[in-house]
C-alpha cells in the first residue's frame, strides 16, 4: 500500500518560533518536484511534540490544501497515551489521509496486552495504520512473537516504519511479515540494506534536503541497477550521517537554511547545532553535487 520514497516533512519556523508557512509551502513544492511518492506530516522531524493542538490543525489544513492529492499523505498521530492518540487520529481523519503513523508508546513500555489493545483502538477508527517501531527513542523493542500476535489481531496495520538498528531482528521481521504489509525503512543510513530485504520504500528525514537522491536510489535499485544505486548512496552517505550529528531535526533544519528553505530555528528542548558541527556540515554541503539537493 505504501511504496517508494516518503519524506518526513520538517516544520520550518521563523526566528521567534512561529511556523513559517511560506517556507513550508516552498518545501512541499520542492519535495513534489523531486518526485517523492508521499509525505509524512506531523512526524518526529516535524517537532510535533512541541506543537500545540491548534498549530497541528493549522499545519494539516495548510499542507493538505497545498498537496491537493498529488502524493499520498500519512499523518503522525501516536503518543504514549492511548486517549490522546485516539484524539489525534480523529483530528487527522478530518483531512482524509492515506494512513496514520502510530509510534509504539514511549516511556510507558506497554506489556503485550496493552500494546495490542492500543493499536486495536486506533485501528477501529478506520484509517490504515503504519506502526512506527523505533526502540532507540521509545525504549520499547517489540519481540517477533508479540509483533506476530499484533499483526494477526489488528489487520488494519498496513505498514511498519522500522527504525531498529538490529539487522538480525529487521531481517527476521521482513522475512516473516514483509508479504503481509508495507515494510518501510526508517533508517536513512541503511536504505540499501532495507531494499535488499525487499522493503517497500523509506520514510526519510534526510529526504527534506536530499529527496532527489533518495528517489533516484530507489528507482535504480528497484529497476535492477543495484550497483549504480549503491554508488549514488555511497556519494550521499556522508551527508546522511551529517543529518544526525545532533538530534533530528536540528541538523536537517540547519541544512535547509543553508540551501534556502527557511531558518534553522528549532523549539526547546532542542537547541542550536554546535559551531563545530555546523563547520562539518558546511564543508560537506560546499563539496557536494548540487543535484542531490531539493531546489
Would you please indicate which residues are annotated as catalytic (active-site) residues? 132, 161
* DSSP characters over 163-220: ----HHHHHHHHHHHTTTSEEEE--GGGHHHHHHTT--EEEESTHHHHHHHHHHHHHH
Helices 144-153/167-177 angle, 10° precision: 30
State phi, psi for 134 to the nearest 5 degrees.
-140, 80
Using alpha carbons, select from 115, 134, 116, 18 the residue that is nearest to residue 76: 134
Task: Please state the φ and ψ torsions of residue 79, each to the nearest 5 degrees.
Answer: -140, -175
Q: Kindly tell me the number of DSSP H helices and DSSP E strands found in the chain.
A: 12, 8
Q: Taking a C-beta distance cutoff of 8 angstroms, is the pair 184, 161 a contact?
A: yes
Q: How far is CA 136 from CA 104, 132, 173, in A?
A: 11, 12, 17
Amino acid at each position: 500500500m505504501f511504496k517508494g520514497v516518503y519524506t518526513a516533512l520538517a516544520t520550518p519556523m521563523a526566528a521567534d518560533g512561529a511556523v513559517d508557512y511560506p517556507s513550508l509551502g516552498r518545501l512541499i513544492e520542492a519535495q513534489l518536484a523531486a518526485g517523492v511518492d508521499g509525505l509524512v506530516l506531523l512526524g518526529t522531524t516535524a517537532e510535533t511534540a512541541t506543537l500545540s493542538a491548534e498549530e497541528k490543525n493549522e499545519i494539516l489544513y495548510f499542507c493538505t490544501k497545498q498537496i491537493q492529492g498529488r502524493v499520498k499523505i500519512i499523518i503522525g498521530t501516536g503518543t504514549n497515551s492511548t486517549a490522546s492518540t485516539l484524539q489525534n487520529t480523529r483530528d487527522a481523519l478530518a483531512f482524509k489521509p492515506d494512513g496514520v503513523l502510530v509510534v509504539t508508546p514511549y516511556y510507558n513500555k506497554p506489556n503485550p496486552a496493552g500494546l495490542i489493545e492500543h493499536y486495536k483502538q486506533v485501528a477501529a477508527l478506520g484509517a490504515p495504520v503504519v506502526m512506527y517501531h523505533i526502540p532507540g527513542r521509545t525504549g520499547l523493542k517489540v519481540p517477533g512473537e508479540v509483533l506476530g500476535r499484533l499483526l494477526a489481531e489488528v489487520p488494519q496495520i498496513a505498514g511498519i516504519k522500522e527504525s531498529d538498528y538490529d539487522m538480525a531482528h529487521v531481517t527476521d521481521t521482513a522475512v516473516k511479515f514483509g508479504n503481509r504489509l508495507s515494510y518501510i525503512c526508517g533508517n536513512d543510513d541503511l536504505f540499501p540494506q532495507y531494499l535488499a530485504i525487499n522493503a517497500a520504500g523509506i520514510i526519510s528525514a534526510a529526504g527534506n534536503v536530499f529527496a532527489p537522491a533518495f528517489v533516484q536510489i530507489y528507482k535504480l535499485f528497484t529497476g535492477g541497477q543495484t550497483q549504480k544505486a549503491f554508488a549514488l548512496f555511497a556519494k550521499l552517505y556522508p551527508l546522511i550521517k551529517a543529518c544526525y550529528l545532533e538530534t533530528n531535526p536540528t541538523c536537517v533544519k540547519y541544512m535547509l537554511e543553508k540551501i534556502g528553505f527557511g531558518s534553522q530555528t528549532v523549539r526547546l528542548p532542542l537547541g542550536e547545532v554546535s559551531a563545530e558541527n555546523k563547520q562539518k556540515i558546511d564543508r560537506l554541503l560546499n563539496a557536494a553535487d548540487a543535484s542531490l539537493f531539493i531546489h
